[in-house]
A and B are shown apart, each in its own frame.
Chain A
């Protein structure tokens, strides 16, 4: 057994030894909370890694399975006593697994699909505009139009039917606010995040730059993402980007950040809603990586008739929905159990509506409402805002 190469190269080779075994990471790990055995938690996996480095254990299929039973939610990183970048460490270990040809089949499928069809589901570009049904007239004029604002849908929202309304909602919001925007349509490709999760990080910058350059060529200076993981991948790739300065200077926003900006500018007018109690679920990447927690709450607060209550574990302390980092493809059952666990947090609040801003969270929770038998409406923040806009411009409560 040789020492894992990517760890050596990354400067994180000390990390398994730096671990203080305090257990903070294990107790917050959504996978450990379900599996209940230490080897599935970060502390246990670090211990196995140390054992591999000491040549006492094998980097085998079983260990690889444990590496991929992880949502890369970064909760372990935020609570680590010795500041180990655990999320990065797991990505490096996945690279090592890839180098040893141990990558699980669903992950291989996702990465090969991205290379083949530009999305991790092997659906193909031809389906990337199916969401626009009913608003073709509006969309046609926006595809590849010159504009300062771009809406980057991401693969889930573009290609998964239950999420198509998220895209339509953002379009409604932009139209309502009079924003000049553009879309890549069928030219949009995966952001490259699944390649990072698959242990193939070398492919990600290419994916990001391809999309970013296409938008830069249209004069785009602000990109709105319907998926926080896309935003996060762009942000981390742009820092290292060799692309043009136009690409590097782009403002990259999640849906809630963008909507919050529109509200601050007084561009959105809302209708009174019929006394709805809502709670907001912070997607891991929004809250822990991008630090977006205040903006979605501000948006919800500004819609008249919506009353916000909080679940336990919010913002940086949020709990994962179980769908991130391809876990929903690798182990759908485990992924669903984690979603149920988080939905239970909502179930003890008086909320009848759960709002979030991540398409994977929405799908996971939507399924969990059925498996858990708990009735709560799940909406993306764009859907909530679009549904609450006044039907005629100038009507409703304009929030300044």
Chain B
């Protein structure tokens, strides 16, 4: 695979392509500070970055990438930390941030259609001026793109009332890995000329035939991290903008908090519900001087309804909270916590680095999961927060404070992230996101039936696994030369040791003699050395052929052992 940037420039325009090393490095990062060891199992720098501005240029890019066996990874603003937008085999980054227009606002159908690269903040700002708002948007709305959140799926602001982002998607336009343009659901493009109509109709029919009604078409593109197609437009549900009434309450225990949260969800009261554990509130400088919040378990959110409904709602919340040993905070503090909903990473300053882990669990299980987290993380400094969805399932996000400058300790500490992900299974949950690092949980996350169908579809649209490779479906990692050298070394030493000590241990004298013989007289090298080199080559080959999951399966226990050994 050799990339010729000029050919990409012909497709998307010279100003929209760069192969500058520094730029490629920056676009290869997301919100997670990966330890150096990650570079041993993924080849994590793009060769080139392109910013297409039209659907047709994106389609041509995809076709080019497929023809040239060029891995291609879609990227929004890189605000997530699950590896969905980072490279694993170098290749081409497609940044969608220049496709950022609002396409059509339909007041009557209560929908808005936007290009994938628009940020949620921008969209909200426009909608709220028009008297409408969004049922769900991410806590990273200030920078996250619509396409990025829809492609990854999950909870957001508003999920307590309206569910996950996938439930708000009315239609999606995307370019599939094979270059076909599809429009699934109802993509409302408005009265302007629609140049893509015929092509999109044909593409959508093709996709319908392939999927055959076994999965909702929206689900092919929402929650699959751009592994099947790159989202270009999204039609979202809108709701009328009514009065927003923030509230916040604090508790001495997470059990009380979980109980109140469950009652609120059962009563369909809040629009948004977010919680912080006492580890979190005790690390926020902004809460110093507020004894009702500092070192307490905090439940904050907002009602969204008519003034009368909200008055009744606040009254009901006051009653629920006081009956469950909680303290309802005043309006000023409630407003503060509402504004803070978009800044979940405030306390990273105390790290300065974070190791994240996020899972889901039913609200009822939060106290047990929290206890297990405390037991598991021992002396680590960490904080927990989460969002609660309409179905009573909570996201449970653990931020473990660390310092990436202490390279060795930081690296070995990463097993904690995977440990929390595994812990969720015990509490009827699963990792919050699959993306890159949790593909071994894909069956639990998507369900066996769905992941099987998605896999089949992946084979149909992207048989060589070029579009966002390794994400969701797993695949072979591209190990760096250090790892390959390590594989060679291990293979060599093991073979040599076995052949050197084995024959005498087993009393095989003739085999011992054979190993010390010189098969090639002119080289004067004993057979044992040839065989050890062969063993090294097998080790190297094993490293090259290893899948990411196999690498993680070997690496995580090793990191865990080292961490225990060093008594962190």
A-side residues, CB < 8 A to B, are 14, 17-18, 20-24, 26-27, 36-39, 43-44, 47-48, 51, 57, 62, 79, 81-83, 312
Contact = CB atoms under 8 A, between A and B. Distances in A.
A17 B405 contact: yes
Contacts of B121: 27
B349 A36 contact: no
A81 B20 CA distance: 29
B143 interface: yes
A14 B406 CA distance: 13
15 contacts: A17-B351, A20-B345, A22-B79, A23-B79, A26-B143, A27-B77, A27-B119, A27-B142, A27-B143, A37-B23, A44-B26, A51-B25, A81-B344, A81-B348, A82-B348
Chain B: number of interface residues, binned into ranges = 35 or more
B22 interface: yes
B530 to A, nearest CB: 39
B208 interface: no
Contacts, number: 81
Contact of B352 (A17, A21, A27, A43): A17
Interface stretch (B27-35, B182-190, B541-549, B556-564): B27-35
Contacts of A37: 18, 23
Nearest to A15: B352
Interface in B6-45: 18, 20, 22-23, 25-27, 29-31, 33
B140 interface: yes
A57 B23 CA distance: 12
B143 A23 contact: yes
Nearest to A46: B26
A312 B345 CA distance: 27
Contacts of B18: 37
A84 to B, nearest CB: 8
B422 interface: no
The 9 closest A-B pairs by CB, nearest first: A23-B143, A17-B352, A20-B345, A18-B352, A21-B31, A82-B349, A38-B26, A24-B142, A23-B77
Contact of A312 (B27, B31, B125, B404): B125
A14 B352 contact: yes
Contacts of B156: none
Given A17-B405, A27-B143, A47-B25, 18 more contacts: A17-B403, A17-B404, A18-B348, A18-B351, A20-B354, A21-B29, A21-B78, A22-B31, A22-B140, A22-B143, A23-B140, A36-B51, A39-B22, A39-B23, A48-B26, A51-B22, A81-B348, A312-B125
A75 B508 CA distance: 77
Contacts of A20: 31, 345, 348, 354
Contacts of A21: 29-31, 33, 78-79
A24 B79 CA distance: 9
A82 B285 CA distance: 11
Most buried by B among A18, A37, A39, A43: A37
B101 interface: no
Contacts of A79: 142
A20 B348 CA distance: 7
A23 B143 CA distance: 6
Given A23-B77, A27-B119, A81 B346 contact: yes
B142 A22 contact: yes
Given A23-B143, A82-B348, A47 B77 contact: no
Interface string B222-247: 00000000000000000000000000
Contacts of B125: 312
Contacts of A39: 20, 22-23, 26
A82 B404 contact: no
A368 B72 CA distance: 40
A22 B345 contact: yes
B348 A48 contact: no
B279 interface: no
Nearest to A20: B345
| Of listed B79, B125, B352, residue having the most chain A CB within 10 A | B352
A81 B33 CA distance: 16
B178 interface: no
Contact of A47 (B26, B119, B142, B343): B26
A96 to B, nearest CB: 17
B98 interface: yes
B114 to A, nearest CB: 16
A66 to B, nearest CB: 9
B353 interface: yes
A24 B141 CA distance: 9
A82 B405 contact: no
- Output the residue of A22, A43, A62, A83 with the most chain B CB within 10 A: A22
Contacts of B143: 22-24, 26-27
Contacts of B344: 81
A51 B353 CA distance: 15
A44 B29 CA distance: 10
Contacts of A62: 22
A195 B354 CA distance: 37
A205 B29 CA distance: 40
B94 to A, nearest CB: 14
A38 B27 contact: yes
Interface in B520-548: none
Contacts of A24: 142-143
Nearest to B144: A23
A312 B129 CA distance: 10
A338 B198 CA distance: 39
A186 B181 CA distance: 69
A22 B125 CA distance: 19
Interface in B350-370: 351-354
Contacts of B22: 39, 48, 51, 57, 62
A309 to B, nearest CB: 13
Interface in B322-348: 343-346, 348
A297 B407 CA distance: 53
Interface in B114-157: 119, 121, 125, 140, 142-144
A169 B255 CA distance: 66
B266 to A, nearest CB: 33
Contacts of B77: 23, 26-27
